Structures are given as structure tokens and as C-alpha cells.
Amino acid sequence: MTTAALRWLDSLQGSGIRPGLGRMRALLRRLGNPQHACPSIIVAGTNGKGSTSSALASILNASGYRTGLYTSPHLVELRERWMIGGTMIDESSLSDAIERLQVGSDKAGIVPTYFEALTLIAFIAFAAADCEVMVLEVGMGGRLDATNVVRPLAALITPIGFDHMEFLGTTIRKIAAEKAGVIHRGAIVLTSNDDAIILDVLRRRTVKFGNPFHVVTERHPTPLAGAFQERNAALAVGAAEELMPLLPKITSESIERGVAATQWRGRLEKIERVGKEIWIDGGHNAHAVAAIAPFIAERVTAPRLLVFGIMSDKDVADVTAALFPMFDTIIATEPYPPRSEPAARLVDLAGGKGIAEPDPRRAIERALESRYQSLVIAGSLYLAGAAIEFFDAQRGE
């Protein structure tokens, strides 16, 4: 990847969140509307979007479709966000896409936000790679998210909870309405939600367009750990089955092969080192913690140690109240300063069983040096990424 291209992209990082689709649409017109180069599927929700998107893309790849998968955030390397045919985008293709975007941005006199740029890169790169279908994970919300410039074959809505309330609203109905914004005329709509209020919001939006509406309540076996992942896999499978008439290379056999090949790192990912069982999870809100808590209680042998770090704009009190009682010792760290909740404050919330170690690498090392055989590293995708980078580097030594 050229230094100049990456420097330009990095220069957008301080742009913050500016909801609205005007900049996206203007830039896409300048770029020749690459978002329409192939059919798309969009995945919204609060938790489970990434693993659902990954499972569906894996099914499509197994079915013989050249598939573009766009997810966020990345855990270790930026290129993780764009997968083509099941492989990370190569540096040359990413550099080309960034350069095309920069030229288009300069000519249009429009500077995208960082996330808008990442999304535009996905459309440019997938079109250049001749993808036959693309799966897009919504960043935040849905209605005004940068991904919501497509007219998808299907719109998938994973479980909805409270997150980003400063942008999406303070009630579950308002949040659901923002997520429902990815539902457009002609899209098959599937959801794994079971809350009556959420289903009412989604159904009303779907009925407005006369679209098919499917509530997926079953589970489906998956190589990903956790019962909640079985719900995510079932949603992906349900979407694949409904898409068979439109994407006829999908078969029952390719669905099973695709699910079995699904990979999604940093979500109850198991690692074994120095005789210890280590689980890494990026769960960063109360909804996500509620999903992983039963797994920890049932599958992670007590006594347990938790390495924990979380962003200060998350619901720190609710997350820590749900998670900390399950552990005997908590090492509090700061995976992404200055946005991280200070380790000292987390120690206060942990009562007498907290230890402050702001440096994530040192926090992980201290956990490995401890007497505990069961370790969990959780609270933030930034922390999950730091842990994966740490252990991958160890494996490569």
C-alpha cells in the first residue's frame, strides 16, 4: 500500500461521526456508482452483525459466488475490513481504491468522514474485483449509515439493544426504527429479534413496502463458540435459503459447507498458552455481555481472571455490574486511550479484587503470570485486537 494513500486515509480519522447520506451519494455519483456494480445484502443490528455477515459471506463463497464482505472495525490490520472471495484485500488493490477515492473527493470538493471513506473503498474495491455479490455490515444505526446507499436483495436485522443512544435515541422503539432504515422496497427482510416492540417496528416498515418478512427463531450449529452464535448462524442460513431463487448457485450442501467454514475472530475465541485456557471476546455493551455471560458461567472453569478494558462512552456501569461478579480477579487496562475508561476507575468498580495495569500488553502478561488457569480478555474490540496481536506474535516467534 502506498504511503501517500494511507496517509490521506489516516488524515480523515479525526472527522468524527456526521450522520447523513448526502456526501456518500455525491461521491458515489462522481465515482460512477460502484455500489450498484453487483447485488448486495445489508446486515444491521446492535450485536452479532459481524458474525452473521461473515457466515453469510462464507455461504456465498461456498456456493461459487465471488463475494465481497465489508465489516468493521478491524482487530489487528486495516485490510481485515474488506474480504474478497474469503481473503483479505491485497495491499495493491486497497491502495488503488484509496487513490481513486482521493481523486474523486478532490474533484467533487467533498471530504468524507473516515467511516464514509472506508465504506466507499469497499464499493470501489468490490466493483474492481468483479464481485458477484457483496455483504455489508452496517456501522451504526442503519437509516443514516454510510452503507445504506444500496438497494439490497435482503436486509438482515440481528438482535437490537441499547447502544449509541446519543445518535439513535433513548428508547428501544427509536433505536429499532433507525435500524429498520436499511429495509427498502424489494428487499427480503429477516430478523432474529424476538422483542415485541422491535418486531412491530420492523414489520411496519416491511409492510409499507410489501416485502417478505421472516422471523428466525431456530438455532443452527456453527464452529463459533456461544449459543448466541447459533442464532446468528441461523439468520445467515435463513437468508441464504430465501435468496436461492435469486442466487441459484446456493444449495443446501453449500450452505452447510459455508457455515462450517465460518471464521470470526475475537468473539469467544479460544487460545491455549502455558497450560491456561484463554477466551478473547470483543463484547463491549450490556447486550453483548448478556449474551456471553451464560457461556462463561457454563464453560469457563472457576476460579477465573478477567482482563478488562472498555471505552468510556459505553455503558460502563451496566457492563461491569454484569461481568465483574463472575470473576475472582480483574486486571483493568486501557486499550485505546484517551477514549478508554481509566483503569483506576474500573478498579474502583471491581471492589477489592481489581488491579490497574493501563498497558494492555502488560495486563495480558500479568494474567499469564498469575495462578489462574481460566482467563477471559473482554470489554472492547480494541482490547480483543490487542490480545489477538499479542498471541499471534507469540505463535510466530
Q: Between the CA atoms of 55, 60, 61 and 66, what dihedral angle is there, to the nearest 10 degrees?
A: -130
| 280 sits in which H/E element | strand 276-281
Judged on CB neighbours under 10 Å (0-12, 13-18, 19+), 29 is exposed
| Residues 110-128, mean pLDDT to the nearest whole number | 97
Q: How far apart are CA 189 and CA 350, in angstroms?
A: 42
Contact 190, 235 (CB under 8 A): yes
Give the burial class of 15: count Cβ atoms within 10 A of its Cβ; 0-12 exposed, 13-18 middle, 19 or more buried: middle
* 269-396: CATH topology: Protein-Tyrosine Phosphatase; Chain A (3.90.190)
pLDDT at position 250: 98
Topology agreement, domain 3-260 and domain 269-396: no
What average pLDDT does this structure show over 287-303?
93
- CA dist., res. 322 & res. 292, Å (int): 10
Amino acid at the residue 252? S
pTM, rounded to two decimals:
0.93
Cell numbers placing 77: 490490520
pLDDT band at 245 (very low <50, low <70, confident <90, very high): very high
Q: Where are the domains of the chain?
A: 3-260, 269-396
Q: Grid coordinates in use for 199?
A: 418486531
Q: Is the pLDDT of residue 264 over 50?
A: yes
Q: What value does the mean pLDDT of the chain take?
A: 94
Cell of 101: 477515492
Which of 12-16, 67-71, 170-174 reaches the highest mean pLDDT?
67-71
By percentage, how much of the chain surpasses pLDDT 90?
A: 87
Domain 3-260 in CATH 3.40.1190.10? The answer is yes
What tens digit of pLDDT does each residue of 183-206 get? 999 999 999 999 999 999 999 999
Asked if the model's pLDDT at residue 1 lies above 80, the reply is no
8-44 pLDDT, tens digit each: 999 998 777 788 899 999 999 999 999 999 999 999 9
By mean pLDDT, which of 51-60, 103-112, 164-173, 374-383 is the weakest?
164-173
pLDDT the model gives residue 394: 82
pLDDT of residue 397: 46
